[in-house]
Amino acid sequence: MSTTMRRVESAGLLVDMADGAMTWLRENHAYCALPADVSPHLAHHMSEYKALAEMALAAQVTSEALPTPRNRDRARDILDHCWRQLGQGDLLYERQLRHLSLPDPVEIYAHFVQAGYRHSGLEQLLRRVHRLTAFQAAELYPNRRLAVANAQRLAGLPHPHPGEWGEPAARTWLGSTPEPWAIDWNDAYCLTHTVYHLADWGRRPLALPPHVIGYLTRWLPVWLDVWCEAQEWDLVAELLFVDVCVPEPELPAAQWEALAAAQEVSGRVPPRGKRPGTGITPGPTSDPSGTGPAAPDATASGLEGSGPAAPDATASGPAAPDPAASGPVGSDPAASGPVGSDPTADFRRHQHTTCVTAMAAARAAHAAHAARATRADAPA
């Protein structure tokens, strides 16, 4: 662990960040909805489908890390909404039935199982489909294979023993521990998701291979500095979440304070800010060198490793719900952007970063509480 980095000493800032993010998600989740006649192919609704999965994950992880009555109630509201939008699991069933090699039905279902939702027909189908060579031979990124294995484990389905995860882990970018200065925007997102799946979203930090823990301990502070300076808040939030997935998190105060400053009064968090001193807003292709690849296509990669590529405000999704019917947008007068902006498009733009911030801050607050308790119990 670094001896010079200033740590977050009090969990108060982190609790406030998680609370604000969850408040915004709860007040605005109605802006993420699928049409009643949505096809399991999701040809024009992949962004909404992905957002529902991310909100369900954020609700489950945040309420688990900070299990207050308020958090549990908000999480249940969000999870209920997402489960209804997925037809109480029927959409996942139909999607898996028609696309035998796709892994996203089990990846999404696992989050709901952890929160107490079940669909017996889907579970029977998953057990059968996952035995097929067509499913097992599907060509996936190595970190996506870890995602599937962890989802199978969480859903109570047959899965590779964690001791067998070494091979796919070794084939990931992170498992190879490459030259740290060669990292680009896409590599960074692949890295974060490798950690999430190996560490089970912060539940099992010791499941990370020792050489990976050492590599992250040395280089994660450097990468956080770079992307924090570039004000790429989505990636900063993801990397801060990585920090709380290792056995001894750094909880770097400077980066947490910067992300807190980027969070708006409403609780939402913008995916990126302006480059210091330039007035230029980084786009989806931004990375420290300015030459990184564009964000992975959410329709091509399912749930895995995609940052907040700017959504098309008109291309897909339902019409914006009536704010009067679905609750307030937020207490910040600018919570939905300029007057006349599309609140559905606004929600899409901020949802991913706000979800990641909620999870990272909740896990970090839990870690800060634990560290403080350990110090209090230590002999003088």
The percentage of the chain sitting over the pLDDT mark of 90, rounded to a whole number, equals 73
CATH code for the domain of 242 = 1.50.10
Tokens linked to 198: 């190996």
Its pTM surpasses 0.85: no
What does each of the 380 residues of the chain score in pLDDT, given as a tens digit?
Answer: 444 679 987 899 999 999 999 999 999 999 999 999 999 999 899 999 999 999 999 999 999 999 999 999 999 999 999 999 999 999 999 999 999 999 999 999 999 999 999 999 999 999 999 999 999 999 999 999 999 999 999 999 999 887 788 899 999 999 999 999 999 999 999 999 999 999 999 999 989 999 999 999 999 999 999 999 999 999 999 999 999 999 999 999 999 999 999 999 999 999 999 544 434 444 443 333 332 323 333 333 334 444 444 333 333 333 333 323 333 233 333 333 433 479 999 999 999 999 999 999 999 999 998 887 766 665 65
Instruction: Give me the residues paired with residue 340 across strands.
Output: none
* Angle between the N-to-C axes of helices 46-65 and 69-85, in degrees from 0 to 180, rounded to the nearest 10: 160
Within a domain: 213 = yes
Tokens linked to 357: 């911030």
Within a domain: 73 = yes
Within a domain: 151 = yes
Q: What is the rounded CA–CA span in Å between residue 215 and residue 253?
A: 21
State the residue for tokens 């907040």. 308
Within a domain: 69 = yes
Q: What is the rounded CA–CA span in Å between residue 248 and residue 1?
A: 7
Q: What is the rounded CA–CA span in Å between residue 53 and residue 31?
A: 14
Hey, how many other C-beta atoms are within 10 angstroms of the C-beta on 341? Answer: 14
Domain that holds residue 140: 12-275+343-377
The answer to whether the beta carbons of residues 371 and 55 sit under 8 Å apart is no
Tokens linked to 368: 């800060």
Within a domain: 29 = yes
Within a domain: 265 = yes
Size (the chain), residues? 380
Within a domain: 304 = no
301: enclosing H helix or E strand: helix 298-301
DSSP character at residue 181: G
> First-to-last CA distance in the chain?
22
Query: For the chain, percent helix, then strand, then coil, each to nearest 5?
Result: 60, 0, 40
How many domains are contained in the chain? 1
39-94 pLDDT, tens digit per residue, is: 999 989 999 999 999 999 999 999 999 999 999 999 999 999 999 999 999 999 99
229-256 pLDDT, tens digit per residue, is: 999 999 999 999 999 999 999 999 999 9
Closest CA to 51 of 81, 77, 73: 81
Burial, 349: exposed, middle or buried (Cβ in 10 Å; 0-12, 13-18, 19+)? buried
Closest CA to 191 of 176, 206, 211, 207: 176
